[in-house]
Chain A
Amino acid sequence: MSSERLDIRTSDDVVRVRQLTRTLALKAGLSLVDQTKVITAASELARNTLDYGGGGFVLAELIEGAGRHGVRLTFEDQGPGIQDVEVAMKDGFTSGKGMGLGLGGARRLSNEFFIHSKPGEGTKVTIARWK
């Protein structure tokens, strides 16, 4: 299936990521609650890419498997990376000024969550939400 790439450089791009996610979620036929969940997760991760990763991009695609549809989003940046992913996933942890709920929240809002980060190399987060 075709995928769409969107750069995340400014806070306006975060809005664009949400809009793109909404379009895909509608196409995948997600319920209103699931749409809202995946859009919110996308918003969190896009903002992380921007604020902590120093900008990057998202790859958004419609996915199909076992007779159902879904949305998959991959956020990638070449920022400083995360020192300890396990700690960063904990609620309340933040290296910035946020609430420290973004990463853990995004995991709880998604059906699939995959994170890979290496200090000095960047971070890659993939989430999927199925119908």
Chain B
Amino acid sequence: MAANVGTVAELVGNNEQTILPEWVGLQKKSGSLQTGRITEGELLSQSRDFLHLLRDGLAKGGNDAANPAYGPARQLLGDISRSRALQGFSPRETATFVFSLKQPLFNALNRNTTLSPTQAAELTWSTTLLLDELGIYTLEVFQKSREEVIVRQQREIAELSTPVVKLWDGILALPLIGTLDSQRTQVVMENLLQTIVDTEAEIAIIDITGVPTVDTLTAQHLLKTVAAARLMGADCIISGIRPQIAQTMVHLGVELNVVSKATLADALAVALERTGRAVTRLKNSVSGSGAHAKLSEKGQ
């Protein structure tokens, strides 16, 4: 039978002048340019490049998308997919690139009068399978790129949200924010323990004002952190326990065998006292101005 995929390769080569504008037109119609993330020029050159690589693939690799002859075409699709994933395209917008090529390609097949209807139908089918395969590939790359973005952001969040703050000589504060799942707790523990070593801190205040829910797992993580800090010679104070959290913990039956305070300020006062310091108001201060406070050190 004369009609093989080589015919399609030839067809694509000979009809580029009609296929390309039709294809780009369809992409524009489906809104590829609306968001302004890529220009018409970029879209045109991406489309033209892919069409050329597809023609080469068809000529050498037949309709088997896994054939090495499709390597360059896949490479290009991968690049386009990745850049679109990062630019914030939707999966639909990304997949449309390949899938919208079907219509102009099949139109060209149908216009070809040398093919019998059966041949045309056969070629349409095999080309459909090929383009489906390539379309799925773009989605896979798209998905993978998005996952990479998410993993990177997770790492960033994990690092950002666990700063250990020095409040005074020997006094550290660890303001916890958000969910305490086990992976982040690991980072929190490591940061705190390392900072205790680095600053020779005696007291670490763990503030949970920003933790919305304290369940038994969270409590267990907190207690482990406290225990580890204690082994390193630092005492922990847990602060920021809001009334609703306190009541819930009582019902839950969780006991934190640690000094705990309602606010970070209370915890700091305890920490200062324990390290032999106190905050006092200056005698000659303007009344009502709390800013004029003095830190007095007891002889140690």
Residues of A within 8 A of B (CB): 11, 15, 18, 32-33, 35-37, 39-40, 43-44, 47, 91, 98-99, 101-102, 104-105, 108-109
Chain A nearest CB from B219 CB (Å) reads: 7
Q: Is the CB of A109 within 8 A of B251?
A: yes
Q: Report which of A11, A37, A99, A109 forms a contact with B219, defined as CB distance below 8 A.
A: A99
**Beyond known contacts A99-B219, A104-B253: 7 more, CB 8 A cutoff:** A33-B244, A36-B244, A47-B215, A91-B253, A101-B252, A102-B215, A109-B252
Q: Is the CB of A99 within 8 A of B244?
A: no
Chain A residue contacts of B182, Cβ below 8 A: 11
What does DSSP make chain A's interface, helix, strand, loop or mixed?
helix
Q: Is the CB of A105 within 8 A of B247?
A: no
- Max chain B Cβ within 10 angstroms of own Cβ: one of A33, A36, A39: A36
- Chain B window 127-163, contacts with chain A (Cβ cutoff 8 Å), 1 for yes, 0 for no: 0000000000000000000000000000000000000
Interface size class of B (residues with CB under 8 A): 20 to 34
Chain B nearest CB from A38 CB (Å) reads: 10
Chain A nearest CB from B149 CB (Å) reads: 16
Chain A residue contacts of B244, Cβ below 8 A: 32-33, 35-37
Chain A residue contacts of B181, Cβ below 8 A: 11, 15
Chain B nearest CB from A9 CB (Å) reads: 15
Q: Is the CB of B217 within 8 A of A39?
A: no
Chain B nearest CB from A32 CB (Å) reads: 5
